[in-house]
A and B are shown apart, each in its own frame.
Chain A
Amino acid sequence: MNRYPSWKYILIAASVIIGLLYTIPNLFGESPAVQISPARASLKADQALLGKVEAALQLAGIPFDGIYLDDSGVKVRFSNPEQQLKAKDRLIENLGQDYTIALNLLSQTPDWLLAIGAKPMYLGLDLRGGVHFLLQVDMQAALTKSVESTVGDFRTALRTDKINYTGVSRENLEVEVSFENEAEREKARRLLATTYPDLTYTTTGSGTDLKLKAVPSEQAKKQIEEFALKQNLLTLHNRINELGVAEPIVQQQGFDRIVVQLPGVQDTAKAKEILGRTAALEVRMVTAHGTRSDARDFDPKKTEDALKGIIPAGSELLYSRIGEPLLVSKSVVFSGENLVSASPKPSQQGSGAEIAVSLDSKGAGSMKLTTREGINRRMAVILVEKGKKEVLTAPTIQAELSSQFVITGMANLQEANDLALLMRAGALAAPMEIIEERTVGPSMGEENIKSGVNSTLWGFAAIAVMMMLYYMLFGVVSVTALAINLLLLVALLSMLQATLTLPGLAAIALALGMAIDANVLINERIREELRDGNTPQASIRIGYEKAFGTIMDSNITTLIAGAALFMFGTGPIKGFAVVHVLGILTSMFSAVTISRGIVNLIYGYRRKIDKLSIGQIYKAD
């Protein structure tokens, strides 16, 4: 019989209701909003912040439609963009020091829908406007840098254990230590192999020219690369926070690439400047200077000689930001990768400001070792940007320091803030290069949405008319099933919060165009069964059954193509593939289960049917 058990009707009804609930949020518009989120981990977005924001806006007399708190911070909704901009300026004035103030668009979805997790689809950059960057991390440089620091580590370890060696050098990824006799080399090998087990050791040479060579193991290399990527991701996150973007995306792609997406950002120049900064931070000891007579290594003559070109081996001449020449050692105490945080704060002793610095254990160890013997020496904080080295500051060491210390002497909080920002920005573990850039203007985004939605709707309307004319009532059923398919697809995309791009919108249209195939197959099959002289009820049953196998086969082949697209596609292709695959899945459900359900409701409960309303059946006698 053409009747479904009641659970099937309930399933269909439930899926349609859920589909509706999750599709609805897409129909509400968006209103301009400002998002206030903490710029530092130590600050929290809480009720107090909400109060502050509210008070600031009320004081300035800027009306707002709503204010609420969520995980990312406080969001304030406005009725027009002018109020939004005014509020943004006002809030930057009041809270800009500690919080990131960003413009945003908030969906006007009612709260009860948000409460069940119903949100509008997540629009890709080509639909909402913004910038997309793909950055390539220079892994070779990360490895070289890491091996370079091993050279210093070796020297320190050998010296501490009083092992005699004649030199340590690096070639590519290989560290070479030279010895004069076998016993020392063996001692060194044992020491280094236990202290630095990540390296693979080999011995070469003969007589008094003995060498111990060390290269990072494959596993260590992988670790270094992973660390470099993670560190860069973190740094990018921090840098982007300075930009004030509402919903930035910073994601790893593959093993050496990072995707950065900044929705709504129009000032691409600034974004690029901040992202593309290939800065690195190095802290080294000052070997001679000519200004602070109370600090050690005060040697104006040596500094002057250096200016004339006489530079002692192991040192180099660098300039500070105010133009002070400094002779600085070439060996690095710690570098950007050891920096955990650098944050500005008001000075504890009266006026001025300082920077609180925090280091990881490796940085802390080496800092301790250096400062223990270096009290009253000066330490240079160097920013290496595109091969140019600049001394940010060269404070005098006051005490033995470890993982936590402060750099004092900044005139005001602004200066401390700038310097801390530069230090943090320098904490890239490896240089990066922008290898792909896509910018979409906001008007373009709107147009893209319009063209995508228009093509879907007009295509759907045309198909609906044709189906209904050709298959009559069964056409109506097919179109209803197709509409439910669209509903379910949109609901699924909203639920998954998959990124919808223009190719994704095209995939929705295409999914509908292809999903209709299943209905045509079924309807044609039923006509055929009627033509062969079967009763209407039997024709419906056999028609659906026979068409089902074909529908399965053809959808599975399409799924295979979709899956391959998803696996190997990037960017627009991936967006297309996600929707394509989901569209096939929903179409299988709607074309088979839902349309059958509707047909069953119409015909399944009638005792006698003379004729099915499926259009004309031609019989060749």
Chain B
Amino acid sequence: MEFFRIKKDIPFMSYGRLTTTISLVTFILAVFFLGTRGLNYGVDFTGGTVMEVSYPHAADIESIRKAVDSVDLKDATVQNFGTSQDVLIRLPIKKELSIAQLSEEVTTALKAADSQVEIRRVESVGSQVGDELFENGALALLIVLVGIAGYLAMRFEWRFAISAIIANMHDVVIILGFFAFFQWEFSLTVLAAILAVLGYSVNESVVVFDRVRENFRKMRKADTVEVIDNAITRTLSRTVITHTLTLTMVGSMLFFGGEVLHYFSLALTIGILFGIYSSVLVACPVALLLGVSRANLIGDAGNKKSENGEEEIVI
């Protein structure tokens, strides 16, 4: 079996204007939704309590709400999830009660209302923990970016490093945009997924860059655009197959992984899909824009052709 029977190199770089426009539009949309709707942070970040309770019969949301209200909580939400027997209760932080006392009081109230209730999961996070998570999360993101950029600059060239990072950030912002648009819960595990996507999507750029470097050596007469087009075309088969396989795995998590892994795998799915697109159609045009050339990579001076390539793509 072979899916890819490509006779000629596909002129990816000549679509530069189109792909850059698409990227720019999705990026701006993502930023727009992040700005207007914001992320729906989970308790890990905001502090508060989430309780997952289950009944042997269909849950009576009204009576649960009453039980929760009896603890005098104004902004508590009670909703079904999954089946009609499972209920998710969200409680905000209450100043005069410690988080430990709060969950205890609610549990008592629920048990008083219906003794058959089973407390399946309680997550209570104090406000001081959330602030640190923001800090650590941002710091981790920064370290990953700097670390990867540093490695790529050393292994390839700074132009590649910068374009890979731009492609990466593009992916991250778009995932966040999705989470903002759909108001999916942004939890710690989602953050882990995003950081994993960072490493994964750079993978993709590295494979293409590797081929670009090799092509610069082999295709002595070709200009930069031809070299890049050839590199993308020749790795296309691998790109599609690998991502299909990884997506299969992630899809399996989405399908079998249950509630806890749901948003985690969702973030990975979006990240991988956009990762393919961006590492090829964002990273390469940006590298061209930055003026990457044969001379940069293999120290072969006096190559004029790269400049033609550069002009073609400048928008």
Q: Are A and B a genuine interacting pair, yes or no?
A: yes
Interface residues of A (CB under 8 A from B): 126, 133-134, 136, 268-269, 272, 276, 433-441, 443-444, 447-448, 451-452, 454-456, 458-460, 462-463, 466-467, 469-470, 502-503, 506-507, 509-510, 512-514, 516-517, 520-521, 524, 527-528, 546, 549-550, 553-554, 556-565, 567-573, 576-577, 580, 615-618, 620
Interchain CB contact under 8 A, A520 and B242: yes
Instruction: Return the contact of B256 from the options A136, A269, A458 (Cβ within 8 A).
Output: A458
Interchain CB contact under 8 A, B140 and A463: no
Interchain CB contact under 8 A, A438 and B123: yes
Interchain CB contact under 8 A, A462 and B248: yes
Interchain CB contact under 8 A, B238 and A565: no
Interchain CB contact under 8 A, A434 and B100: yes
A contact face: mostly helix, strand, loop, or mixed: helix
Interchain CB contact under 8 A, A467 and B245: yes
- With A549-B210, A618-B2 as given contacts, are A556 and B248 in contact (CB-CB < 8 Å)? no
Docked pose: A618 CA to B196 CA in angstroms:
35
Instruction: Return the contact of A615 from the options B1, B204, B210, B255 (Cβ within 8 A).
Output: B1
Chain B residues, Cβ within 8 Å of A569: 136, 140, 192
Interchain CB contact under 8 A, A617 and B100: no
Docked pose: A615 CA to B1 CA in angstroms:
5
**A521–chain B nearest beta-carbon distance, Å:** 6
How many pairs of A and B residues are in contact by the CB < 8 Å rule? 246
Interface string of B160-202 (1 = CB under 8 A from A): 0000000000000000000000000000110110011011101
Chain A residues, Cβ within 8 Å of B126: 136, 433-436
Interchain CB contact under 8 A, A435 and B137: no
Of all chain A residues, which has the CB nearest B137? A568
Docked pose: A553 CA to B129 CA in angstroms:
36
Interchain CB contact under 8 A, B245 and A550: no
Interchain CB contact under 8 A, A506 and B257: yes
Interchain CB contact under 8 A, B129 and A550: no
**B43–chain A nearest beta-carbon distance, Å:** 10
Interchain CB contact under 8 A, A615 and B144: no
Query: Which of B22-30, B147-155, B303-311 lies at the binding interface?
Result: B147-155
Instruction: Return the contact of B257 from the options A126, A451, A561, A615 (Cβ within 8 A).
Output: A451
Interchain CB contact under 8 A, A512 and B249: yes
Chain B residues, Cβ within 8 Å of A439: 103, 119, 121-123
Interface string of B116-128 (1 = CB under 8 A from A): 0011111111101
- With A510-B249, A510-B268, A576-B189 as given contacts, are A436 and B124 in contact (CB-CB < 8 Å)? yes
Interface residues of B (CB under 8 A from A): 1-2, 4-7, 52, 98-100, 103-104, 107, 118-126, 128-129, 133, 136-137, 139-140, 143-144, 147-148, 151-152, 155, 188-189, 191-192, 195-196, 198-200, 202-204, 206-207, 210-211, 214, 234-235, 237-238, 241-242, 244-253, 255-258, 260-261, 264-265, 268
Chain A residues, Cβ within 8 Å of B125: 435-437
Chain A residues, Cβ within 8 Å of B140: 564-565, 567-569
- With A553-B206, A568-B140 as given contacts, are A503 and B264 in contact (CB-CB < 8 Å)? yes
Instruction: Return the contact of A572 from the options B136, B192, B198, B234 (Cβ within 8 A).
Output: B192
Interchain CB contact under 8 A, B195 and A564: yes
B contact face: mostly helix, strand, loop, or mixed: helix
Of all chain A residues, which has the CB nearest B258? A451
Interchain CB contact under 8 A, B5 and A620: yes
Chain A residues, Cβ within 8 Å of B265: 506
Interchain CB contact under 8 A, A466 and B248: yes
- With A437-B100, A455-B257, A618-B5 as given contacts, are A520 and B241 in contact (CB-CB < 8 Å)? yes
Interchain CB contact under 8 A, B268 and A466: no
Chain A residues, Cβ within 8 Å of B235: 524
Chain B residues, Cβ within 8 Å of A272: 100, 104
Chain A residues, Cβ within 8 Å of B198: 561
Docked pose: A276 CA to B104 CA in angstroms:
12
Chain A residues, Cβ within 8 Å of B250: 459, 509-510, 513
Chain B residues, Cβ within 8 Å of A560: 144, 147-148, 151, 199
Docked pose: A240 CA to B207 CA in angstroms:
53
Chain A residues, Cβ within 8 Å of B124: 434, 436-438
Chain B residues, Cβ within 8 Å of A502: 260-261
The 3 A-B residue pairs whose C-beta atoms are closest, nearest first, are A561-B199, A513-B249, A459-B252
**A541–chain B nearest beta-carbon distance, Å:** 17
- With A436-B126, A567-B143 as given contacts, are A441 and B120 in contact (CB-CB < 8 Å)? yes
Chain A residues, Cβ within 8 Å of B120: 440-441, 443-444
